[in-house]
Structure formats: C-alpha cells, structure tokens
C-alpha cells in the first residue's frame, strides 16, 4: 500500500514536468524545421504545444508508468515530429540544428524551472520540499499548499529535462545526438552511422537492459545528469537576494 501511495505521489509531481519536457522537446524540433524551410510538422498539426498532438501511447504513457512501478529512472518519449530533409534549405546543416533544438529546449526548461524554484523560495523562504509534518503545520498553510507543489514540480523538472537532454545527445541514431553527428561528419562516416538507424532502438534497449554491466545509462543519470542538475540549481538558487555567492 505504501509503495502504491509512493507511486501515486511521484506521478502527481513528475507527470506534468515529464509531459511538458517531451512535448516541448518535439515542438522545438518542428519550430526549428519550419524556420529552416520545412513546414511538414505545421501541415500535420504538430507545430503545437497541445499534448494530445504529441502523445505516443507507449512512450508517453505506458513506459513512464512501468519505470515508476519498477522503481527505475523515469524515461519516455513523445511522438516524433516529422521532418522532410528535402525541404530544408541546407539539409545537413539544418538537420543538425533541428536535432539540436530538442535537447536545447530541455536545457532551457531546466534553467527556467530552476529560476522558478528560486523565485518560489524567495517568496516563501520557509518552504520545505520534503513534505514533513513540520511543513504541513507551518503558519502559511495556504501558501505552502500552492507553492510547495509548484516548487517540487520545478525541482523534478530540472532533473527530468537535464536527463532527457543528455540522453538524447547520445550519438546513436535515431536519437538527436546521432542525427547531429551524422550531419557534421564527412559523407562516408556519416553514411555508415546513418545505416545504424534501423537498429538504433535495439541498441538503446540493450543499453537499458544491460545497464548494470555496461553502466552507460547509470553514468548519464548518476554522474553527468546529477552534476549538471546540481550546477543549474546551485547557480539559480544562488541568485536569490541575501544568498552568499
């Protein structure tokens, strides 16, 4: 019962940040593609922040819930935005920009979330993110009921967006990092890397399933993501009035 309660608690705080992270990631791909000459996403109704246009039943709903129930890291994806390479003005350069837009949006969201958290803690300095009984009995109960959920979601948003940005930058097609590398490599190595795309999802599943042995995902979540999240949070929280630098 306690585990079910914990899952529901986690979903309530992580669901919206994860959804916004995935939806805005895909929106950024479509927006940059449109700026580079390809309006495919717009014509198919995907150049929108409406989550319904981007939800993938497996990647947006089923997989994140499975991750939560297994106590694993939270992982998922939205329906990929269509991009027609033939419509881009400078296909190789523009494809790199389109691919980089998704992780770039996640990093922007991470920084914005950290700044929001700093603002909330400035407004309510006694705010606790731990949900202890002391917090519930605090004088500013109404403010805590409003600010605390926002603050916890902002904190999760930083971690989720940093993880998604770094994970998507892995140099494996069809991830964004693979597409960026394909776009900037010389033609022959780029074509060799592009041939991996049909097997890209199998490679990713292998990295996830055998993470205990390989440690790739653990390195991203445990080292790089935590380090970058900590840097973003400490920098943003250090901007508050009266906080020593």
Which residues form the catalytic set? 26
Kindly report whether the peptide bond that precedes residue 55 is cis, defined as omega within 30 degrees of 0: no
Contact 26, 102 (CB under 8 A): yes
**How many CB atoms are closer than 10 A to CB 56?**
16
Burial-class residue 233 by CB neighbours within 10 Å (0-12, 13-18, 19+): buried
- Phi and psi for 231 in degrees, rounded to 5? -65, -45
Contact 144, 1 (CB under 8 A): no
- Characterise 138 by phi-psi region: left (phi > 0), alpha (psi -120 to 50), beta (else): beta
Task: Give the whole-angstrom CA distance, residue 77 versus residue 61.
Answer: 9
Two tokens at 75?
Answer: 């992982």
Task: Give the whole-angstrom CA distance, residue 214 versus residue 206.
Answer: 10
Task: Give the whole-angstrom CA distance, residue 156 versus residue 131.
Answer: 14
């Amino acid at each position: 019962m306690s585990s079910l309660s914990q899952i529901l608690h986690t979903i309530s705080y992580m669901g919206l940040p994860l959804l916004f992270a995935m939806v805005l990631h895909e929106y950024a791909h479509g927006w940059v593609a449109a700026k580079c000459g390809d309006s495919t996403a717009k014509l198919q109704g995907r150049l929108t922040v409406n989550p319904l246009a981007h939800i993938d039943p497996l990647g947006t709903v089923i997989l994140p819930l499975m991750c939560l129930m297994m106590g694993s890291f939270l992982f998922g994806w939205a329906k990929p935005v269509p991009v027609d390479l033939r419509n881009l003005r400078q296909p190789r350069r523009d494809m790199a920009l389109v691919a980089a837009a998704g992780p770039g949006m996640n990093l922007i969201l991470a920084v914005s979330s950290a700044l929001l958290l700093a603002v909330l803690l400035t407004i309510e300095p006694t705010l606790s993110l731990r949900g202890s009984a002391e917090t519930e009995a605090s004088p500013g109960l109404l403010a805590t009921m409003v600010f605390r959920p926002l603050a916890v979601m902002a904190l999760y948003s930083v971690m989720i967006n940093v993880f998604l940005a770094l994970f998507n930058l892995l140099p494996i097609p069809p991830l964004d990092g693979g597409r960026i590398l394909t776009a900037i490599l010389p033609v022959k190595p780029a074509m060799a890397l592009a041939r991996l795309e049909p097997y890209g999802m199998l490679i990713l599943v292998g990295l996830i399933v055998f993470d205990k042995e390989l440690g790739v995902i653990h390195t991203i979540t445990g080292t790089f993501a935590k380090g970058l999240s900590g840097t973003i949070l400490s920098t943003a929280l250090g901007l508050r009035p009266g906080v020593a630098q």
